[in-house]
Amino acid sequence: MNFAEGPHSVEVAARKGSAFAEVGAQVVDEDAAVDVGDRGRGALQPVRSHYCEHRFDLMAALRLYNTLSRQKEELRPLRDGVIRIYSCGPTVYRFVHIGNLRTFMLPDLLRRTLEYLGYRTEQVMNITDVGHLTDDTFDRGEDKMLVAARLESKSPEEIAAYYTQAFMEDAALVNIRPADHNPRATQYIAQMIELIEKLIGGGHAYEVGGTVYYDIGSFAAYGRLSRNTTDKLLAGSRGEVDPRKRHPGDFTLWKAAGEHRVQVWPSPWGPGFPGWHIECSAMSMSLLGTTFDIHTGGADNVFPHHEAELAQSEGVTGHRVVNLWLHGGLLMLAGARMAKSAGNFFRVTELVDQGFDPLAFRYLALQAKYRTKLNFSIEGLAGADRALAQLRQRVAEWSSGADGASDDQEVEGFEARFQAALADDLDLPAAMALVSEVIHSSLPAGGKAELLRRWDRVLGLDLERVAPNVELPAGAPALLEAREKARAARDFETSDRLRDELAAIGVAVTDTAEGQRWKAAPHK
């Protein structure tokens, strides 16, 4: 994949005087440019303030970075003022990790921004429950769903149901709102077969031995999304390639079923199952139509998945299907991509078990632009956790305090700048910097609280929520202090004994890289 031409790393420094000074992110800039033309425009509606009578009109048109053109383009609704979004969702063979959740935050932040600015939205996020192979780059390996089913001695349907529910619960923990539609791939087999038949009829696909391949040589624009070429694909091919392919880069649309395989469907080419890429073409166009506004995914989806999807959809329709392609940067852990296959990941529930607010991860993610890589660390998360708690406490205090006269011009200025940040390719770090400015501004307490609560419709940090009043049981502070000293002296026997004593009185202790963290039941 050639997603970013010449990436370079920069450190996002904490702004002077910011309430977020403990939070930083390692990012990668991924800009390049190619013009892709003009499309029709829809109108924006103003946002009303509940704090004053003024109307806040959007100061600039919403511009989003299109992976296809490598430049920011003005968002222009394709039809009836509704922004239609298709988001690649999870393959439900394991739990999602926080790197996956960062990717899924992109369409959530996009929808929140669009609705804040007055648009209506419709979002589809699919559930992949068949056809995603263990080596998806080179179109081979085992189906991930069947591997999981075998390892857990369950049916693929049981695996899909369990991990889909777990995904929904984990997404809710970080305030990712549910999509309007969550289609499962196995529900759209008939539509996939219909698309494949059309691709064969149009000369874009061919069948050999019950397997159908997409002929990338038939689609002149293949590679324009990822900046790959057929020559690059030929040079990058490795291992065993089906000799029946016309080009090593040809990818599977329908795969003939092997002996004893479960999840098999009848087709004009014999029993088999769909390829991963055709699934999204079928689901997106079935639910959103043959043209829609935005397609989102992670940077790792650009090739091969979205490149193949583009070729399939346009091969069938003969026209451009997706207006804007948005891709989120990867989450890194110790310099390596966080991935289920590599085993270097955290579930959000693990962070909760360590005593962190799950929205501290969302807060951390907001510090980096969505297209950049973000290096995750427990230390950075701890800083975000503290900053979020402090911010909520301030909002609570300002909401209950005496109010003063508001400077409407100052409020309008903040609102205009917030909307301008959102309109500039969802510049959430700039929006978070404005949160800090509001905190230190001369606005009266009530004005600060109202403004931040309104902005939280986009940020999704539950700023109206205040931490429960937690009191440590009698004797717990002394035990915690003694245990900290035992750990420092590497007296692990004493440390373990004290942890057991704390657990017995209702205090759970977790050891982290920056020291012990404790969690007790809220005081009632």
Collapsed DSSP state (helix, strand, coil) of residue 507: strand
Q: Residues 51, 55, 61, 62: what is their CA dihedral angle, to the nearest 10 degrees?
A: 30
Contact 373, 27 (CB under 8 A): yes
Give the DSSP letter of residue 299. G
Neighbours of 14 (CB within 10 A): 17
pLDDT, tens digit, for every residue of 95-139? Answer: 999 999 999 999 999 999 999 999 999 999 999 998 788 776 666
Chain centroid, CA 199 distance in Å: 31
pLDDT, tens digit, for every residue of 277-299? Answer: 999 999 999 999 999 999 999 99
- The confidence score (pLDDT) of residue 469 equals 52
Distance (Å, whole) CA 318 – CA 86: 20
Distance from first CA to last CA of the chain, Å, rounded? 55
Cis geometry, peptide bond prior to residue 304 (ω within 30 degrees of 0): yes
- The confidence score (pLDDT) of residue 132 equals 82
Distances (CA, A) of 399 to 104, 452, 519: 32, 11, 27
- The confidence score (pLDDT) of residue 397 equals 84
- Predicted TM-score (pTM) of this structure: 0.80
Neighbours of 79 (CB within 10 A): 12
- The confidence score (pLDDT) of residue 402 equals 53
Sort residue 203 into left (φ over 0), alpha (ψ -120 to 50) or beta. left
The pLDDT tens digits along the chain (524 residues) read 332 323 222 223 333 333 334 454 444 444 332 222 332 333 333 333 333 333 445 445 899 999 999 999 999 999 888 999 999 999 999 999 999 999 999 999 999 999 999 999 999 999 999 878 877 666 677 888 888 888 999 999 999 999 999 999 999 999 999 999 999 999 999 999 999 999 999 999 999 999 999 999 999 999 999 998 766 666 555 556 788 999 999 999 999 997 778 899 999 999 999 999 999 999 999 999 999 999 999 999 999 999 999 999 999 999 999 999 999 999 999 888 887 767 788 999 999 999 999 999 999 999 999 999 999 999 999 999 999 999 998 898 888 755 555 668 889 999 999 999 999 999 999 999 999 999 999 899 889 999 999 999 999 999 988 655 556 788 887 888 889 888 888 899 999 999 999 888 888 888 866 567 777 655 44
The 3-state DSSP composition of the chain as helix, strand, coil percent (nearest 5) reads 40, 20, 40
Instruction: Taking the CA atoms of 504, 507, 511 and 514 in sequence, report the sign of the dihedral they define.
Output: negative
Residue in 95, 173, 92 with CA at minimum distance from that of residue 131: 92
Residues of 497-523 as b/e, b for ≥16 C-beta within 10 angstroms? ebbebbeeeebebeeeeeebbbbbeee
Q: Class of 61-337 per CATH?
A: alpha beta
- The confidence score (pLDDT) of residue 112 equals 97
pLDDT, tens digit, for every residue of 402-416? Answer: 555 566 888 999 999
Domain layout of the chain by residue ranges: 61-337, 476-520
Q: Can you tell me which residue has the tokens 């709102």?
A: 177
Contact 502, 215 (CB under 8 A): no
- The confidence score (pLDDT) of residue 416 equals 95
Contact 341, 84 (CB under 8 A): no
Distance (Å, whole) CA 242 – CA 248: 8
Distance (Å, whole) CA 420 – CA 416: 6
Residue by residue, DSSP assigns 153-200 as: TS-HHHHHHHHHHHHHHHHHHTT-PPPSB--BGGGGHHHHHHHHHHHH
Q: In this structure, what are the phi and psi dihedrals at residue 196, rounded to the nearest 5 degrees?
A: -65, -40
Give the DSSP letter of residue 5. S
Give the DSSP letter of residue 403. P
Q: Can you tell me which residue has the tokens 């092997």?
A: 258
- CB within 8 Å of 112: residues ≥ 6 apart: 177, 457, 458, 460
Kindly provide the residue ranges of all beta strands, DSSP E only, lying in 69-113, ordered along the sequence: 71-74, 82-87
Distance (Å, whole) CA 500 – CA 494: 10
